[in-house]
Amino acid sequence: MRPLVLLGMLLGATSVRAGNGDFHATANGSVATTDNETGAETGSPNRKASIFSDVRPGMLFTYNSRRMIHELVTDVDLLYHFGADRPNVTLHGDWKAFFLPTPRSELTLNATGMEGQMYALSAATSPTEATTQVVPLGRVNVAQGAGGEQLSWVATEMSRVWQRGFARYTTTNDTEALVDTKAFEGGTALGIDREYRHDTFLFEAGASYVFLQRLEDPTMPRLGNRQDHQINPRAIVGLQHDFNKEWSAGVDGGGVYVIPYGIDPYNPMDERKPALFPILGLVGAYTDVWGRAQLAARHQVTPNLFIAQNTLSDSVKLTMALPLPFFDQNTNRHDPRVVGLGSAGVERSQLIDPTTNMLQGEFKVVRIDFGVGWQPWRGQTFGIRYEFSYQKGDTVADVVVPTFFRNTIYFTYALRYPQEVQVRVPRREQSMRADRTDLAPIGAEPVVNDPAEELLDEDKR
């Protein structure tokens, strides 16, 4: 984390002298109330309500030249529960870069890191970025690092070839359950898509390496210590279809082959077996001049790095970022001042036994996270947000993470100075539309806002 901050200061000092740098001070945060301060399990006498404040001073630095754009965001998250002895401190840094190696190719790079507590992750996350997955309870110490790259090449007028790679590492330390985890996933993939008038066909094949380790205090045994290594090759085919300029849909399917290997030093006599799991996804999307909404259903195998366990999940999630004109009669679709942002998701997550690759436990997870943002002036956003989290496990899964629920209401703010941002790294992830019109050409204003970005950031429209 600290190297990211130093890198940002170095880049800032060098680039500003060259005349291509842009530096901004930021201050984000919230005042909130919750009915479950420590994430205590349902029925626990330790469950109690509290009021807390989340303050995140930071910086935004951007740099651009003829064929590249860099963007670095760093902040320090100070989360204080009123009545506590001291605040919880979380450090965060995020770097993104965009390159044009040739006239027909694009390269994007990203790296992110954080060190702090699990509870601060939820408070600092935008409603549209909230994930529906099993997480440990309480004030669990977490350190994360992740990076990725994607290189795409326009092979013909209607076809594109791409390569992508990723790596992510997570450690957790639960001071109450006395459980430590380490988890890593890294992989690469190759893909191709072919565009027609209203449809796009795509194919992708790749593989990933997964490392999962869970260590327990010997005086409080639950599942026992484990260390697992896996190679997971996978392949998918997909189809995207545009019904009109606003509505589109997509479907993809394939499989992943989970191949355990090596010897677990804590369970050396285990005989491990590979297994094939299907993958299926369905997506419906709406895009407009400003804003978007998406409803997605997925069946997939995903290693959960927070609990160091492979899972088979079935999920349905709604994500939206849309103007609310009935709150702002003087606005227009190109320049909204009041916007609704949020997500709602339901997931059934089944634990995969690391030895037999059979399903051995089940979680039901529900997450609702919606908010309203109001931007009276550029670089200043205020809002209100409601978050509900619930997860329940059966007798096996409940040993990993106990059942709990939590309601939280936030009053949020996001400030930036200077207000204007001259350049940002363009969004180049997988398009929601077959014609890719929701991805702006380089140097042009985005057609629609990315729900995963900050609230009401005008400079990304």
Cβ neighbours, 10 Å, residue 376: 8
The answer to whether 315 touches 144, Cβ cutoff 8 Å, is no
What pLDDT, on a 0 to 100 scale, did the predictor assign at position 353?
A: 85
What pLDDT, on a 0 to 100 scale, did the predictor assign at position 329?
A: 63
Which has the closest alpha carbon to 72: 150, 13, 154, 155? 13
Residue with structure tokens 């057609």? Answer: 447
Q: Residue 95 is part of a domain; what is its CATH number? A: 2.40.160
> Among 116-120, 323-327, 407-411, which range has the highest average pLDDT?
407-411
Q: By three-state DSSP, how is residue 313 classified?
A: strand
pLDDT at residue 41 is higher than 90? no
pLDDT at residue 224 is higher than 50? yes
The answer to whether 98 touches 424, Cβ cutoff 8 Å, is no
pLDDT at residue 447 is higher than 50? no
**pLDDT band at 213, cuts 50/70/90?**
very high
Q: What is the pLDDT of residues 265-319, one digit of tens each?
A: 998 888 888 999 999 999 999 988 778 899 999 999 989 988 888 899 999 999 9
What pLDDT, on a 0 to 100 scale, did the predictor assign at position 15?
A: 38
Cα torsion 200, 203, 206, 210: sign: positive
Which of 10-19, 190-199, 203-212 is predicted with the least confidence, judged by mean pLDDT? 10-19
Residue with structure tokens 């600092």? Answer: 124
Q: What is the pLDDT of residues 226-268, one digit of tens each?
A: 999 999 999 999 999 999 989 999 999 999 999 998 888 998 8
Q: What is the pLDDT of residues 261-279, one digit of tens each?
A: 888 899 888 888 899 999 9
Which residues, 6 or more positions from 287, have their beta carbon under 8 angstroms from its beta carbon? 246, 248, 432, 433, 437, 438, 447, 448
What pLDDT, on a 0 to 100 scale, did the predictor assign at position 109?
A: 95
Number of domains in the chain: 1
CA 367 to chain centre: 14
Residue with structure tokens 């496990």? Answer: 393
| CB hemisphere CA count around 90 (13 angstroms) | 27
What pLDDT, on a 0 to 100 scale, did the predictor assign at position 434?
A: 82
* Between residues 426 and 75, the one the model is more confident about: 75
**pLDDT band at 44, cuts 50/70/90?**
confident
**pLDDT band at 14, cuts 50/70/90?**
very low
Q: What is the pLDDT of residues 169-181, one digit of tens each?
A: 999 998 877 889 9
Q: What is the pLDDT of residues 110-164, one digit of tens each?
A: 999 999 887 766 777 778 777 888 888 767 899 999 999 999 999 988 899 999 9
Q: By three-state DSSP, how is residue 460 classified?
A: helix
Which of 273-282, 381-390, 401-410, 447-456 is predicted with the least confidence, judged by mean pLDDT? 447-456
pTM over 0.85: no
What pLDDT, on a 0 to 100 scale, did the predictor assign at position 46?
A: 79
What pLDDT, on a 0 to 100 scale, did the predictor assign at position 174?
A: 85
**pLDDT band at 453, cuts 50/70/90?**
very low
Please give the single-letter amino acid code of residue 345. Answer: G
pLDDT at residue 396 is higher than 60? yes
Q: For 93-118, what is the HEC assignment? A: EEEEEEECCCCCEEEEEEEEEEEEEH
- Burial code of 59-80, b = ≥16 C-beta within 10 A, e = fewer? bbbbbbeeebbbbbbbbebbbb
> What are the residues facing 229 on neighbouring strands?
211, 261
- Measure Cα distances from 102 to 28, 154, 155, 373 in Å: 38, 10, 12, 40
pLDDT at residue 45 is higher than 90? no
Six-digit token pair at 332? 């227009």
Q: Which domain holds residue 383?
A: 2-460
What pLDDT, on a 0 to 100 scale, did the predictor assign at position 328?
A: 66
> Among 32-36, 108-112, 214-218, which range has the highest average pLDDT?
108-112
Report how far residue 20's alpha carbon sits from residue 71's, in angstroms, rounded to the nearest whole number: 12
What pLDDT, on a 0 to 100 scale, did the predictor assign at position 446?
A: 42
Please give the single-letter amino acid code of residue 273. Answer: K
Report how far residue 245's alpha carbon sits from residue 447's, in angstroms, rounded to the nearest whole number: 12
Which residues, 6 or more positions from 427, have their beta carbon under 8 angstroms from its beta carbon? 439, 440, 446, 450, 453
